[in-house]
């Protein structure tokens, strides 16, 4: 790695080797107990307690608190995800210490040495956590792209359906472990270990922030670009889009692109149907958030009480809430509505006009002007997405 050797093929072979190793690794209740949410929380807390002792010397001051906060939110809201990992027997007697220095690339394939032996329980890990260790180490060595590709290959060979957020979480966890070790070594008189510890801690914070599940409300009147923006945002961050227009028709048992236009508030647009629709949107969002997926809800969100219910869902699932209101002038939206073909939306210009008169003001939303190029609106929302977990103190992110 340091010499810049091409290790792509070796990493792919290694991903395959690890998937095969995990497939036949020991499993069972005693092993699974170490990979549960509360066991993970306890190990995190032990690590950050150590990090806290080195703030102001080795680490910038808010590091441990920032990590604790992000970890707590992730774990609190992800009960179903961690329960599923155990039910799916993803917790294995693994390697426990898969760092680059322990992998030997030979002509006939890679060999991995030096599994963790001083404490069995630390080797009982989620298989994804096991391989995330190497992904983290590759990132530390300056090649996060290789780390990502390695995990992609591993997922391909293992069929692991984990959400992106869990990958981020385990990479962060492994960086946290190494940050702690770096702090201890520094305290024992190894000056170089201090800079390493700070580097590892920054990796941990970065991944915890990236992996925080988001609940994004993309609202606005017809033709303001909600679906376009929702799709682009979801593509960029691997989130799931739930579209009100599609689900409304799904609930009514009709094809999403089949027109079902009706007078304002009539037919499938009757108020009871709309209530049902929002309840279903939030129900599906809750399932997804609990499993660590970020969710983009593409709906008009014109009624304040429904937004309040969504905000409550974000609180209940410890997810980052982002409220975006798409806006464009009436001429632009009318032109867009007129130009639609095969869109799941049935809204016409008169419907849009009526909606505007009944829409509640949305002071908590960030207005997104979509009259300009899509790329501009996407850049703006990308920045908002990245900042959703709150702005960290600059020093932690170095
Ligand atoms: N900045 C922009 N943001 C979003 N959509 C835009 C933008 N500029 C042009 N458009 C176009 O406007 C239309 C918006 O429609 P759509 O996303 O279906 O709106 P809505 O879902 O709010 O009804 C699309 O054809 C899209 O390509
Ligand atoms: Mg739409």
- Supply the CATH number for residue 124's domain: 3.90.1200
Ligand 1 and 220: CB distance under 6 A? yes
Residue 15 sits in the same domain as residue 134? yes
Look at residue 393 in the predicted model and tell me its pLDDT: 60
Q: Which of 167, 192, 212 is the last residue of a domain?
A: 212
Residue 286 sits in the same domain as residue 162? no
Name the residue of 302, 330, 370, 375 whose CB sits within 8 Å of the most ligand 1 atoms, as the mutation to test its pocket: 370
Considering the chain, what is the average pLDDT of its residues? 95
Look at residue 398 in the predicted model and tell me its pLDDT: 47
CA atoms within 13 A on the CB side of 275: 3
Q: Is residue 3 in a domain?
A: no
Residue 21 pLDDT > 90: yes
Number of the ligand 1 atom closest to the C-alpha atom of 339 = 25
Beta carbons within 10 angstroms of residue 52's beta carbon: 17
Residue 207 sits in the same domain as residue 219? no
**Averaged pLDDT for residues 51-76:** 96
Residue 208 sits in the same domain as residue 233? no
CA of 376 to the centre of ligand 1 (A): 12
Q: Is residue 2 in a domain?
A: no
Residue 224 sits in the same domain as residue 368? yes
Residue 272 sits in the same domain as residue 194? no
Q: What's the rounded Cα separation, in Å, for the pair 90 and 84?
A: 9
Look at residue 392 in the predicted model and tell me its pLDDT: 67
Q: What's the rounded Cα separation, in Å, for the pair 369 and 224?
A: 8
**Averaged pLDDT for residues 286-293:** 98
Q: Is residue 1 in a domain?
A: no
Tell me the ligand closest to 221's alpha carbon. 1
Residue-range definition of the domain harbouring residue 187: 8-212
**Range with the lowest mean pLDDT among 3-7, 208-212, 282-286?**
3-7
Q: Is residue 143 in a domain?
A: yes
**Averaged pLDDT for residues 63-74:** 97
Look at residue 263 in the predicted model and tell me its pLDDT: 87
Q: Is residue 320 in a domain?
A: yes
Confidence of residue 397 (pLDDT cuts 50, 70, 90): low
Residue 362 pLDDT > 60: yes
Can you tell me which residue has the tokens 């049902």?
276
Q: Which of 188, 212, 236 is the last residue of a domain?
A: 212
Residue 112 pLDDT > 70: yes
Q: Is residue 317 in a domain?
A: yes
Helix (H) or strand (E) holding 367: strand 366-369
- Supply the CATH number for residue 293's domain: 3.40.50.300
pLDDT tens-digit series, residues 113-143:
988 888 888 899 999 999 999 999 999 999 9
Name the residue of 221, 223, 225 whose CB sits within 8 Å of the most ligand 1 atoms, as the mutation to test its pocket: 225
Residue 46 sits in the same domain as residue 158? yes
Tell me the ligand closest to 218's alpha carbon. 1
Bridge-based pairing of strands 214-219 and 124-126 is unpaired
DSSP E strands in 82-237: the ranges are: 91-93, 103-106, 109-112, 124-126, 214-219
Look at residue 230 in the predicted model and tell me its pLDDT: 98
Residue 35 pLDDT > 90: yes
Look at residue 81 in the predicted model and tell me its pLDDT: 98
Residue 40 sits in the same domain as residue 55? yes
Domain total of the chain: 2
Q: Is residue 322 in a domain?
A: yes
pLDDT tens-digit series, residues 261-279:
888 889 999 999 999 999 9
Number of the ligand 1 atom closest to the C-alpha atom of 221 = 22
**Averaged pLDDT for residues 371-392:** 94
Confidence of residue 345 (pLDDT cuts 50, 70, 90): very high
Residue 89 sits in the same domain as residue 101? yes
Q: Which of 161, 179, 212 is the last residue of a domain?
A: 212
Q: Which residues of 308-335 are buried (b: 16+ CB within 10 A; e: fewer)?
A: eebeebbeebbbbbbbbbbbbeeebbbe
Residue 395 pLDDT > 60: no
**Averaged pLDDT for residues 144-155:** 98
Name the residue of 245, 248, 336 whose CB sits within 8 Å of the most ligand 1 atoms, as the mutation to test its pocket: 336
Ligand 1 and 338: CB distance under 6 A? no
Residues near 271 by beta carbon (within 8 Å), at least 6 away in sequence:
265
CA of 223 to the centre of ligand 1 (A): 6
Residue 159 pLDDT > 90: yes
Residue 250 sits in the same domain as residue 196? no
Task: Please check whether residue 134 is in contact with residue 100, taking contact to mean a CB–CB distance below 8 angstroms.
Answer: yes
Residue 45 sits in the same domain as residue 150? yes
**Nearest residue CA, atom 5 of ligand 1?**
225
**Nearest residue CA, atom 15 of ligand 1?**
225
Ligand 1 and 343: CB distance under 6 A? yes
CA of 386 to the centre of ligand 2 (A): 24
pLDDT tens-digit series, residues 290-340:
999 999 999 999 999 999 999 999 999 999 999 999 999 999 999 999 999
Ligand 1 and 296: CB distance under 6 A? no
Q: Is residue 47 in a domain?
A: yes
Residue 206 sits in the same domain as residue 220? no
């Amino acid at each position: 790695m340091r010499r810049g050797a091409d290790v792509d093929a070796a990493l792919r072979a290694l991903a395959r080797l690890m998937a095969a190793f995990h497939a036949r690794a020991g499993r069972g209740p005693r092993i699974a107990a170490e990979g549960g949410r509360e066991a993970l929380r306890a190990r995190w807390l032990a690590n950050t307690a150590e990090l806290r002792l080195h703030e102001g010397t080795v680490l910038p001051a808010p590091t441990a608190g920032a990590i604790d906060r992000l970890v707590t939110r992730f774990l609190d809201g992800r009960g179903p995800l961690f329960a599923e990992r155990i039910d799916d027997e993803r917790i294995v007697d693994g390697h426990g210490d898969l760092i680059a220095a322990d992998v030997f690339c030979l002509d006939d394939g890679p060999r991995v040495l030096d599994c963790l032996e001083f404490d069995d329980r630390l080797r009982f890990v989620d298989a994804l956590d096991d391989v995330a260790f190497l992904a983290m180490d590759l990132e530390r060595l300056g090649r996060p792209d290789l780390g990502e590709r390695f995990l992609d290959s591993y997922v391909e060979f293992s069929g692991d359906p984990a959400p992106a957020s869990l990958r981020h979480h385990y990479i962060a966890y492994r960086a946290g472990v190494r940050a702690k070790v770096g702090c201890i070594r520094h305290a024992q008189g190894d000056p170089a270990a201090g800079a390493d510890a700070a580097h590892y801690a920054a990796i941990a914070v970065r991944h915890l922030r990236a992996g925080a599940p988001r609940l994004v409300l993309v609202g606005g009147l017809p033709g303001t670009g909600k679906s376009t923006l929702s799709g682009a945002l979801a593509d960029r961050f691997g989130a799931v889009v739930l579209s009100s227009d599609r689900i409304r028709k799904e609930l009514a048992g009709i094809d999403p692109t089949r027109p079902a236009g009706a007078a304002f508030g009539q037919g499938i647009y009757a108020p009871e149907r709309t209530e049902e629709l929002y309840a279903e949107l939030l129900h599906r969002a809750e399932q997804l958030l609990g499993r660590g997926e970020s969710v983009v809800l593409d709906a008009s969100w014109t009624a304040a009480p429904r937004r309040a219910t969504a905000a409550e869902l974000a609180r209940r699932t410890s997810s980052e809430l982002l409220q975006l209101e798409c806006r464009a002038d009436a001429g632009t939206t009318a032109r867009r509505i007129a130009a639609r073909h095969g869109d799941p939306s049935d809204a016409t210009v008169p419907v849009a006009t009526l909606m505007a008169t009944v829409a509640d003001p949305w002071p908590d939303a960030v207005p997104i002007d979509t009259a300009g190029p899509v790329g501009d609106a996407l850049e703006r929302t990308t920045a908002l997405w990245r900042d959703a977990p709150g702005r960290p103190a600059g020093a932690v992110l170095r």
